[in-house]
Amino acid sequence: AKQYATLPDSGKTATPANAEAYYKKDMPFKYWIAYEYCWTTNTAIPEARWKANIDWVDTTFKAYGYDMICNDGWIEGAQTIDANGYITKYNDGWVNNFAYWGEYLAKKNMRMGVYYNPMWLTKAAYDKNVPVTGTKYHARDIVGPKSFNGDLYWVDAAKPGAKEWIQGYVAYFMGAGAKYLRIDFLENYENNYGTEKYAQVLHWIKQTACDKLFLSLVMPNCFDHGKTELLYGDMIRIDDDCFNGGWDFVSARRRGEHKKNWPQYGNAFDGFVSFADIGGRGQMVLDGDFIRLNTLANDDERRFQVSLFTIAGSPITIADQYDTIKEHAWAYQNNELIDLTDQGFIGKPLSYDLNDKPNSSIWTGQLPDGDWVVALFNREEMTEERKIDFAKDLGITGGAVENVRDLWAHTDLGKMTGTYTVNLAPHTCRVLKIRNVNWGRYEAEVASMIGVKKNNAIAGYTGGGYADKLGQQGAKILFTINTNTAGMYKLTVKHSNVSRATQHAGIYINNLKIKGAIKMHKQADAAKWGYTSKNIQLAAGINQIAIQSEPDNDGEFSIDHIVIKQD
């Protein structure tokens, strides 16, 4: 299939998500969605209940950063359209339109998300045969031979006027105040119309949304490990729907089973492990679907699910309602976990192999200040030991840490050396923040690896592995660091290169390429890692440093870690 990577209207090239994705203020990291009511009743949510939930979120969760509200499916009843054929409100039974609710939320300093697929064309628009704005075509000219259902047609990307319809719909929602567009049933479109047309419509949507509208791709096939979705989406669903929630959704449903198409994984834990390599800053937000705390068996399971979604970098999406959550709101209000989300934290499992039960249940990652976050999970039905080795798994010199903090107990456990070991009861977890004595060292295997894979075949690396096979054009590693002061810093890269010649890497600071490539010198012995350095100018605060393979490279190299020290 063709790759529609160039955006001709802007002259820009599409890259996986946005390089600054994890620091955008309009990211939907913490929000409420109307799913639970719709699923449990199989009807659209009434407008009065929608408002009651908005007001509840405003008073109960907004202070914790939950500042967006989104409708959800059961959209067939939205047949009230404007002159252009676009739906004006979520359901015909509602009084108020999208613009009204966008303004209502804005007055509360909250944002509106919209669930809708701009490739849909309603029966009302078809029956009226509305004109397609900016063209000589009409609704019946652009629909395809296969419909989504009796109330919604699919627009065929090959038909003249399809582009204008789809891009007009996206612009319409943006004009109504939407900051987030949740585009559902993508597998249905791709299965019926093919990957080439699927990629084309995503390209059109991204072209219109640019960086002003966050695009959530729901129910995607993710063929070739999300190859198409990485080009055009900001977020992808990585597991089946929440449905009745409970432990079944969190960890048990179809555990260990993989399908080639949607839904590739039946539960959130399997999906996060298997797609963790493409999740991260500058890459893709992994969407584990929704959280229904009221469906879980006990508080341990509630901590488990919120911890899992936080550590994997997923949005924390409340589907509980004001009259179903009972006394469980506290699990959404852990400020220490919320701080991880607000800093853009995303972890990686020690193993991406679902059959490696212990190591796929241990997640690690670094905060911008270099401190580590470790999450230990027990998915099993019996008590099991979990441990983290500070030297072996995190690369901390001598295995000595200044402090370990339990983020659910809100307790400092003090200095430790060697390992942290715990016996976890079934369905429980520990989330730890570990003060890093190696200030300035950032491990590549937990950074965003774009077009790169984690490996551990070459001895002599630090931490849990290294980033391998930087060679193809565009392959890069993205580190996010926090510096106290602006100034000149020395960037040192620990690398391995056994190719035919010296390889070159471009250095990008906050999306801007700096002058002069950094050289990865050839080595005779792969196990003897080399070091190369370059002085770089950094601003005070958050800096994103990308190390990217240059086009003239004719070989591959690996990166173990980087060290940042003020010059």
Q: Which tokens hold the place of 235?
A: 């977020």
Q: How far apart are CA 497 and CA 409, in angstroms?
A: 45
Compute the Cα dihedral for 199, 204, 205, 211 and give only its sign: positive
Calculate the CA 280 to chain-centre distance.
6
Q: How far apart are CA 232 and CA 202, in angstroms?
A: 6
The answer to whether 546 and 507 are in contact (CB under 8 A) is yes
Q: How far apart are CA 59 and CA 52, in angstroms?
A: 11
Q: Which tokens hold the place of 521?
A: 């010198």
Q: Cβ–Cβ contacts within 10 Å for residue 327, how many?
A: 8
Q: How far apart are CA 305 and CA 267, in angstroms?
A: 11
**CA distances (Å), origin 163, targets 188, 220, 247, 491:** 19, 20, 42, 46
Helix (H, G, I), strand (E, B) or coil at 426: coil
Find the largest Cα–Cα distance for the chain: 73
From 163, 176, 168, select the one nearest 114 (Cα to Cα).
Answer: 176
Helix (H, G, I), strand (E, B) or coil at 543: strand
Residues annotated catalytic, as ranges: 184, 234
DSSP state of 197: H
Q: Which tokens hold the place of 74?
A: 């059961």
- Tracing tokens 């019996």 back to the chain, one arrives at 382
Cα angle 477, 497, 553; round to 5: 70
Q: Which residues contact 492 (CB under 8 A, 6 or more apart)?
A: 531, 532, 533, 562, 563, 565
- Tracing tokens 């075949």 back to the chain, one arrives at 457
Q: Which tokens hold the place of 59?
A: 């008073």
Buried b (16+ CB within 10 A) or exposed e, 76-85: bbbbbbeeeb
Helix (H, G, I), strand (E, B) or coil at 264: coil
- Tracing tokens 């295995």 back to the chain, one arrives at 399
- Cα-flanking dihedrals φ and ψ of residue 281, to 5°? -60, 135
Q: How many helices (H) and strands (E) does the chain have?
A: 14, 33
**CA distances (Å), origin 143, targets 140, 146, 147, 154, 522:** 6, 8, 8, 6, 57
Q: Which tokens hold the place of 334?
A: 């852990």
Beta bridge partners of 112: 69, 178
